[in-house]
Amino acid sequence: MTAAATPRTLACILLAAGRGTRMKSKLPKVLHPVAGRPMIAHVVAAAQAAGAAPITVVIGPDPDQATVAQAVAPHRTAVQAEQRGTGDAVLAARDALAGFTGDILIGYGDAPLVTEETFATLIERARADDRPVVTVLGTRPALPGTYGRMVTGPDGGLDAIVEAKDATPEQLAIPLCNAGLMVVAAEHLWSLLDAVGTDNAQGEVYLTDIVAIARARGLRCAVVERPEQETLGVNSRAELAVAEAALQDRLRVRAMAEGVTLIDPKTVFLSADTRFGRDVVIEPHVVIRPGVSIGDEVTVLAFCHLEGAVVGDGSRVGPFARLRPGTVLGARVHVGNYVEVKAATLADGVKANHLSYLGDAEIGAGSNIGAGTITCNYDGFSKSRTVIGSDAFIGSNTALVAPVTVADGATIGAGSVITRDVEAHALALTRAEQRALPGMAAKIRAAKAKARKG
């Protein structure tokens, strides 16, 4: 590129209208989650990070496709009326891109492992001095299967892409495959697509045919390679599991690079949006669902399940704890074994170490929640809140029947059922008085023994 030239702009079209029949699912294929995020959202995020704008997602006409549109909003969608093939799908975005003159990045919504670097490699090759009109990302999969095969010329340029179903045995033996991403100069794209026919094994309009058409017009096409890892297409549940495993590995490596100790990485499951501070230790068998943010010097002990939760610096969670959405733990909070927290804020230094349910609650700094405490937040009709002040002490096996407030510094005697507000620094308890009958146990024992002998 000469110094005077203005940089070319980059628009993106992502294809997501296919029915995904091999998934055998009610859910549109591209909405199946990988690492807790729909496949299409991974691709959109990578395209956006690579600088593509606008991004247009091509969806199908069925009513359930509205959910795909919601998942990619605020990016726009274009509807492909009938699934006539990948080339026809790109044509569905033509009106949305009327007048656009830069480069058009075309990707498939079912390839969730693409990264910003995947796109960057492709874009860099497309913009090299020889300026190919079509630049396609290639890969060498261990099992080439149904991938399109890339036919290259003696100069290494790309001459054609042949779909597996249309390939000769010689072509099927080609190891270089179409990964499913390309960059095409906008000024050529639409006229190339207009020339694509349906004379092939599937009777479809193949996007991949534009390569041979461009070559016939004397235009240059190029291929650039990335590892199969980044380009895996998901067409079945088995491939979904492969994609999940690959992304989990990537997330674990990233977490460790950021200063997180994973004692047995393979047993820790993360989400694409999981955030960690420094010096976090995650013990084995922990599942972190979407929406979790973990502060510095936090330890998550074995067998915990976290979702939609914020864990403050220096806190300790588990073993066997469950943090559900809306949980906010302050600094140095302890949540121990068999404790479930939901929509609750536990301020700095709160301890809830054993066997409790804390839902729809607010607990002030330094309070101690005894074993077996239950916030009774649901009366069968509606949910109510429990508010506990700071430095309160809730005795073991207490039921707090919400709505109820226990003010600062109050103590609740063990085994109480608290239905009315408790004022600051008061002791509240609802137990029946204890009675003792001296010698009675021994008398009963003697009577039983006599009856057995006689």
What residues are annotated to the active site? Answer: 354
CB nearer ligand UD1, residue 198 or residue 397: 198
CB nearer ligand UD1, residue 133 or residue 341: 133
Tokens of 337: 């074994």
Angle between helix 116-126 and helix 39-49 axes, rounded to 10 deg: 50
Does 180 participate in binding ligand UD1 (rule CB under 6 A)? yes
Looking only at the bridges linking them, the beta strands covering 334-346 and 327-329 are parallel
State how far the Cα of 279 lies from the Cα of 338, in Å rounded to an integer: 25
Residues facing 306 on adjacent strands = 288, 323
Candidates 33-41, 230-238, 365-373, 412-420; binding stretch for Ca ion (CB under 5 A):
230-238
Select from 10, 17, 255, 311 the one that contacts ligand UD1 (CB under 6 A): 17
Does 119 participate in binding ligand UD1 (rule CB under 6 A)? no
Asked if residues 103 and 9 have their Cβ atoms less than 8 Å apart, the reply is yes
The closest residue (CB) to Ca ion is 233
- DSSP class of 425: T
Does 356 participate in binding ligand UD1 (rule CB under 6 A)? no
Neighbouring residues of 385: CB distance < 8 A, sequence distance ≥ 6: 360, 361, 362, 377, 402, 403
Does 235 participate in binding ligand UD1 (rule CB under 6 A)? yes
CB nearer ligand UD1, residue 85 or residue 312: 85
State how far the Cα of 246 lies from the Cα of 33, in Å rounded to an integer: 13
The closest residue (CB) to ligand UD1 is 148
Does 65 participate in binding ligand UD1 (rule CB under 6 A)? no
Least spacing, CB of residue 203 vs Ca ion, in Å: 18
Does 12 participate in binding ligand UD1 (rule CB under 6 A)? no
Letter for the amino acid at 181? L
Tokens of 362: 């607010």
Q: Which of residues 284-303 bind ligand UD1 (CB under 6 A)?
A: none
Q: Which of residues 202-231 bind ligand UD1 (CB under 6 A)?
A: 206-208
Asked if residues 428 and 407 have their Cβ atoms less than 8 Å apart, the reply is no
Q: What is the DSSP string of 120-188?
A: HHHHHHHTSTT--SEEEEEE--SS-TTSPEEEE-TTS-EEEEE-GGG--HHHHT---EEEEEEEEEHHH
Candidates 75-83, 207-215, 231-239, 308-316; binding stretch for Ca ion (CB under 5 A):
231-239
Helix (H) or strand (E) holding 443, with range, is helix 440-453
Select from 60, 87, 107, 233 the one that contacts Ca ion (CB under 5 A): 233
Does 357 participate in binding ligand UD1 (rule CB under 6 A)? no
State how far the Cα of 189 lies from the Cα of 106, in Å rounded to an integer: 11
Select from 31, 52, 57, 58 the one that contacts ligand UD1 (CB under 6 A): 58
* Residue 410 interaction partner, one of Ca ion, ligand UD1, none, beta carbon < 5-8 Å per kind: none
Classified as helix, coil or strand, 429 is coil
Candidates 4-12, 107-115, 188-196, 413-421; binding stretch for ligand UD1 (CB under 6 A):
107-115
Does 148 participate in binding Ca ion (rule CB under 5 A)? no
Interface residues with ligand UD1 (CB under 6 A)?
15-18, 58, 80, 83-86, 88-89, 108-110, 146-148, 161, 163, 177-178, 180, 206-208, 233, 235
Interface residues with Ca ion (CB under 5 A)?
233, 235
